[in-house]
Every structure is written in structure tokens, then in C-alpha cells.
């Protein structure tokens, strides 16, 4: 089994694809016995797809998959989790605002926990993104009765069995720590670095980040209250 899979959803990140590959490769080289980089093209309309294919052709550790059309971030993440073969599965975004080296900030926690969620310190986003994110996180926790402070952080590390446990619907990628807890796994939140975006622009606006995610929170809260838990006597 591969030791580590790094899963990256990609949508119109032409300027970042090569930089992403180099940054991930540098971060993991010599740190794990074997690794793979799983790139999921979410129907990009720029030059992202051919650049991904060129990288995959030159490095057998890179897998490039392409959606026939844009299906959204949740679909790309779920496809990547299902294609990953690693004992551990890391999630990051293609914009490199989170540092791939922080995968190994999270890795020591895999001894006691099943999923480590990054928590961005010193956010390098616009004030509007910071405010909308803070409101959304607070509301999600209130509805879902969870305590994750930065569920939207793209930097996550989990054991393969956690990745296999997810059945996602549109928008559920924002609730992976909560869903993992609902599935009986141990979750921790760990501070990670955050950097300004150097190339391209965010593909997700305030409406997507705030209002839609608030509606999704009600669904997760409803499901959480109906989780089936039981223990067999004597087992």
C-alpha cells in the first residue's frame, strides 16, 4: 500500500499546476516511504488539464483524472478520496494558500487521532472572506453541535478508513471533520500556515461560502441527531 496520497481538486488553476506539483513533491520527498499525488480536474476550461497530463506522463507517482464537466468541489474531493490508495490521505487546494509541508505538521497526530483538520492562523484572505468564514463556522458549529473552528480549511489529513467512510452530497466537503466524528472517528484541529494567493482567483464567492453552506448545516445537524449508535452486550 502507498504510504501517503495527496489529493488535490483542480479547477482553472493553469498558473498553479506546475508550482503545486513541485511544492508537494518537495514537501513529501524523503518524509514517507512511498507517495502519490492525485489530481482531480473539475472540468477546467483553461490549460489546467494538459498541464496535469504532462506532469502525470513524466512522473508515475502522479495520477490525473478529468471530469467531463464542472461538477463542483465536493465531487472533486470525493472522487479524489475514492481514487487514493494511500494509508494516509491528505487534502489540499491547488491555489497553494496552504503549505504542503504542513501535511507533516498534522502527521504526528495520526498516532492518536483518525483525522487532523488544519486551522488557518493569520488568514491571508480579504476581510470579506475572513468575516464570511467566521460567521459560517460559528453557525455550522451551533447547528451541528460541533466545535471545529475552521472546517473550511483545505488542509486535512486522515487515515484511509476515514476517507472510505464518507458518502458525500453537494456541499458536504465543508463538514468532513463533523462527518468523521459522526462515523465514530477521532478528530483534532491543528494550527497550520496560510499564505496569500499568488496566481489566479478564488472560484468560490461569498454566496457559495456563506448562504449555501448555512443551509447545508441544517442537513448535517439533522443527520447528526439521527446517527445510529449501539453496542452488543459482551463484545
C-alpha of 161 from chain center: 15
Q: Is residue 217 a part of any domain in this protein?
A: yes
Enumerate residues 6+ apart whose C-beta is below 8 A from 96: 16, 19, 20, 23, 195, 197, 198
pLDDT confidence of residue 171 = 84
User: Is residue 235 in a domain?
Assistant: no
Beta bridge partners of 188: 116
Question: In this structure, are residues 94 and 10 in contact, taking their beta carbons and an 8 Å threshold?
Answer: yes
Q: Does pLDDT of 199 surpass 80?
A: no
Q: Could you give the angle at which helices 213-224 and 127-144 cross, rounded to 10 degrees?
A: 20
Residue 201 has pLDDT above 70, yes or no: no
Grid cell in block for residue 60: 508515475
- Per-residue pLDDT tens over the stretch 53-103: 999 999 999 999 999 999 999 999 999 999 999 999 999 999 999 999 999
pLDDT value at residue 211? 58
Residue at 229 is within a domain: no
1 — pLDDT class (breaks 50, 70, 90): confident
Residue scoring higher pLDDT (204 or 93):
93
Q: Decide if 233 is inside a domain.
A: no
Q: Within a domain: residue 192?
A: yes
Task: Give the mean model confidence (pLDDT) for residues 20-31.
Answer: 96
CA distance 83 to 55: 18
In this predicted model, what pLDDT tens digit does every residue of 141-168 receive, in sequence order? 555 556 676 777 899 999 999 999 999 9
Q: Which of 31-35, 80-84, 118-122 has the lowest mean pLDDT?
A: 118-122
Contact 168, 78 (CB under 8 A): yes
Q: Write down how long the chain is.
A: 235
Total of domains in the chain: 1
Q: Residue 231 domain-assigned?
A: no
Mean pLDDT value across residues 127-148: 57
Tally of CA atoms within 13 A in the half-sphere of 144 that contains its CB: 29
- Output the domain CATH number for residue 60: 3.90.550.10
Q: Where are the alpha helices (DSSP H) in 38-126?
A: 48-58, 73-83, 103-106
pLDDT for the residue numbered 134: 61
How far from 80 is each of 45, 64, 148, 159, 191, CA to CA, in Å?
A: 19, 10, 23, 14, 24
Going by pLDDT thresholds of 50, 70 and 90, the confidence category of residue 111 is very high
Pairing of strands 115-120, 156-159: antiparallel
- Has residue 213 got a pLDDT over 80? no
Can you give the residue range of the structural domain that contains 199?
A: 2-224
Per-residue model confidence (pLDDT) at position 208:
53
Lowest mean pLDDT among 30-44, 58-72, 121-135, 167-181: 121-135
**Model pLDDT, residue 232:** 83
Classify residue 194: in a domain, yes or no.
yes
The CA angle 79-85-87, to the nearest 5 degrees, is 120
pLDDT at 61: 97
Is residue 37 in some structural domain? yes
How far from chain centre, in Å, is Cα 213? 16
Amino acid at each position: 500500500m502507498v504510504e501517503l496520497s495527496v489529493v488535490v481538486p483542480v479547477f482553472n488553476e493553469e498558473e498553479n499546476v506546475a508550482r503545486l506539483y513541485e511544492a508537494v513533491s518537495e514537501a513529501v520527498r524523503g518524509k514517507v516511504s512511498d507517495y502519490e499525488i492525485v489530481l482531480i480536474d473539475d472540468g477546467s476550461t483553461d490549460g489546467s488539464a494538459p498541464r496535469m497530463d504532462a506532469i502525470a506522463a513524466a512522473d508515475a507517482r502522479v495520477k490525473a483524472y478529468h471530469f467531463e464537466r464542472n461538477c463542483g468541489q465536493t465531487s472533486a474531493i470525493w472522487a479524489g478520496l475514492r481514487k487514493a490508495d494511500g494509508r494516509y490521505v491528505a487534502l489540499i487546494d491547488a491555489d497553494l494558500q496552504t503549505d504542503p509541508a504542513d501535511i507533516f505538521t498534522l502527521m504526528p497526530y495520526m498516532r492518536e487521532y483518525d483525522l487532523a483538520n488544519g486551522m488557518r492562523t493569520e488568514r491571508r484572505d480579504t476581510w470579506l472572506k475572513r468575516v464570511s468564514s467566521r460567521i459560517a463556522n460559528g453557525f455550522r458549529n451551533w447547528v451541528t453541535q460541533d466545535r471545529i473552528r475552521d472546517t473550511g480549511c483545505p488542509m486535512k489529513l486522515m487515515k484511509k478508513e476515514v476517507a472510505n467512510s464518507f458518502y458525500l452530497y453537494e456541499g458536504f466537503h465543508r463538514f468532513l471533520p463533523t462527518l468523521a466524528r459522526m462515523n465514530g472517528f477521532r478528530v483534532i484541529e491543528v494550527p497550520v500556515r496560510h499564505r496569500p494567493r499568488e496566481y489566479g482567483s478564488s472560484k468560490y464567492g461569498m454566496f457559495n461560502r456563506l448562504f449555501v453552506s448555512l443551509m447545508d448545516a441544517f442537513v448535517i445537524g439533522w443527520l447528526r441527531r439521527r446517527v445510529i449508535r449501539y453496542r452488543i452486550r459482551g463484545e
